[in-house]
Every structure is written in C-alpha cells, then in structure tokens.
Amino acid sequence: MFFFALSAALHFYIGARLLPEYSMAWAVLLTAWLVASAVLMPMGLMRRRNSQSEGTDRIAVLGLFAMGLFSSLLVGTFLRDLLLIAVGMIHSYTPLLFPYERLERFSAFLVPIAALVVTFVGLWNARRIARVVNVDVPIAGLPKEFDGFTIAQISDVHVGPTIRRGYVEGIVDAVNALDADMIAITGDLVDGSVPQLRDHVAPLAGLKARHGRFFVTGNHEYYSGVVSWMDELARLGIQVLHNEHVVLKRDSAQLVIAGVPDFGGGYFHPTHASDPAASLVGAPTDADAKVLLAHQPRSAQAAAQAGFDLQLSGHTHGGQFWPWNHFVRLQQPFTAGLHRVGKLWVYVSRGTGYWGPPKRFGAPSEITRLRLKPA
C-alpha cells in the first residue's frame, strides 16, 4: 500500500502541474496515462517479486516501461517548476520579452514531449547489444609473459522480465569475438530465480576463454536465491570465486585472480561476508600481479590494503540514465571508468544490461576488454 500511495502522490504532482495548461482532449489523454502508470509501476514490481509465473512478466514489462517514462516526466516537471519560479521572480521586477503565461503553457507541452523522446532513445540504447570498450591497465612489475593479457568483463546484465535468452546470446557472441584470455562476470547477472531464468542464462555456457570464466555475486543474486545461482553457474562451467582465488601461470610468471561476494553479502548469509584479504589466503606471496573481482566499487579500500593491483567492479550502471548518474557518488566512490586508490587500479563497468526500466540515456552499456600492460 505504501508503494501504491507513493506512486499515486508523485503522479498526482505531475498531473496537477501540467494538466491545467491543456485542452480537454489532451488533459484526458495525459490523465489516462498517469492513472495507468501509477497502478502499473508498483503492480509490476510486486507481481514479479511475488510470483513464479512467467505470465506476470507481461505486467512487469509494462510497469518497467512506465517507470522509465514516469522518471523523465517527474524530473521534467520538477525542472519546469524551478524554471517558472526563477522566471516568475524576474517577471515580478521587470517585464519579460516572452510573456510568462506563454512560457507556462509552452513548457507544459514540452515536458511530456521531451520525456517521450528521452524514453524512446533510452529504450533503443538499452535494447541494443552493448558495445566494446577497450581499456589498457598499466601494472607495475607485470612480467612480459602477461604483457597484453586480456580480460573480457561483463557486469550487471540483469537477466529478467525484459532481458531474455536472445539478448544473452548476443552478449556471448560479442564476448567470444574478442578472443579474450579470461572472462570476468562481476555480479548482478539475474533478477529472478533459477527455475524462472535457467533457460535464459544457459547461453553463458558458450563463453570461451583460454584461462577460464569467473563469476562473483552481486547484490541482486541475494534477492534471487544466491546459493542456487552459484550452483547453476558452476553447472554451466563458470567458476564462482567466493572469497577465494586461482593462480594463472605462464612459464614462471604467476597471475592471481581472486573474487569476493557482494559488499553486502554478509547481511544475507553469515558465510558470505566480502573479504578481499581472505580471498588471498594460500596465494603465492611472490605472484607477479593480483586481480580482484568485486561487484561494488566500495570494496576498493579493502582491496588496496590486501595488496591487489587491479579491481574489476560494476553495480553503478554509470547511473543508467540522466540525471541519476549525478547521484551515484552519494553511495559509491566511483561511477564508471578507470580510477586509482593508492597503488590499486579500479575499473567500474557501466554494465552490460540494465536494471528496471529498459532505458539508458547518457550512460551507454558496455562489454569491457581490459588489457594488462607493464607500467
């Protein structure tokens, strides 16, 4: 009831600010959409979470699309109010060349038009297969045997109501075309249970890499039955790194690949506390380089203290669509790209899929090809 009430209140705000400027026909059209959206958004989220039926996906898809359009309508309405307040203050002191009443009416029509454009552009950006981003990472002391070692990273695919088997097959084809030495899946792979999504995740078994395919859990795995998903990924031949590591060897050179559960995993399971230092227990002390897979960038401080050279993360989606990209730093140290924490490099993927609304605007999805180079 809380979510229905919150949805109704926010939709009412949009209607109250825009509808008075419309003719009867346009007002009826916008009112019908606002009422439908206010119901679809919470209903879609609730039915998806509370039911195992595939039939509920249709409602979830409608609710998620409505959420994307609602977000732009809400932001646009709020920005319009700020503009009108500022112009109104100026207008009270000096006449404007552009009459205030005309600005009120024009902007009321501009908001939904802009929201629709942003939503459909965002839909196209979200539904296309992610483009490849190439990143060189300089590692101090990297031996020649691992010079040019490539890691294909995918993150935050969020297989669920709107991301299905065909989308995953496209990702697999794009990753395999990179001919990477190693593949890293850095969490938030799914939004649903194994029985719901097993067939849609199955194409990941076709991922190919010379030195292995590795997975670490994200926060959404903990909402979706994390232990079952760890077992399912292992069944597909993808190694789950759970506060543990593997050692890759080329001649006498050694590269440690470690992984930790999601930063908040310990809140869901006592044995899932994320611990970069523990992931190195038993690792060779003379390893030439150490790479950590950790879903959230917030693991960086602990990773730096544990002596890692590179951390690969996701979680943020790069903000996914404007203006939310400006708020990521309130919760995470980095939004996207390559960053430095002491001697540690941290790469944060913008994500290979998307969460919630099928919408990306100003934060394109990515498949990342990282290449290790000597510093």
Tell me, yes or no, whether 247 and 336 share the same domain: yes
What's the pLDDT score for residue 161?
Answer: 86
Strands annotated E in the chain: 131-139, 150-154, 182-185, 213-215, 239-240, 244-250, 253-259, 289-293, 310-313, 337-341, 344-348, 366-374
Shared-domain flag, residues 114 and 258: no
Q: Are residues 192 and 50 in the same domain?
A: no
Per-residue pLDDT, 62: 86
What would you report as the CA-atom Rg of the chain, rounded to the nearest whole angstrom? 24
Rounded Cα distance between 298 and 23, Å, is 50
Last residue of a domain, one of 95, 111, 127: 127
Same domain, 199 and 307: yes
Q: What is the pTM of this model?
A: 0.90
> Are 38 and 136 in the same domain?
no
Same domain, 179 and 78: no
- Are residues 118 and 144 both part of a single domain? no
Of 75, 96, 127, which marks where a domain is finished? Answer: 127
Expressed as residue numbers, the domain containing 65 is 2-127
User: Do 251 and 337 sit in the same domain of this protein?
Assistant: yes
Q: Are residues 248 and 293 in the same domain?
A: yes
Looking at the structure, do residues 49 and 189 belong to the same domain, yes or no? Answer: no
Rounded Cα distance between 56 and 361, Å, is: 27
Question: Each residue's pLDDT tens digit in the chain (375 positions)?
Answer: 888 899 999 999 999 999 999 999 999 999 999 999 999 888 766 655 544 555 566 777 888 889 999 999 999 999 999 999 988 887 777 776 667 788 899 999 999 999 999 999 999 999 999 999 999 999 999 999 999 999 999 999 999 989 999 999 999 999 999 999 999 999 999 999 999 999 999 999 999 999 999 999 999 999 999 999 999 999 999 999 999 999 999 999 999 999 999 999 999 998 999 999 999 999 998 999 999 999 999 999 999 999 999 999 999 999 998 888 888 988 899 999 999 999 999 999 999 999 989 999 999 999 999 999 998
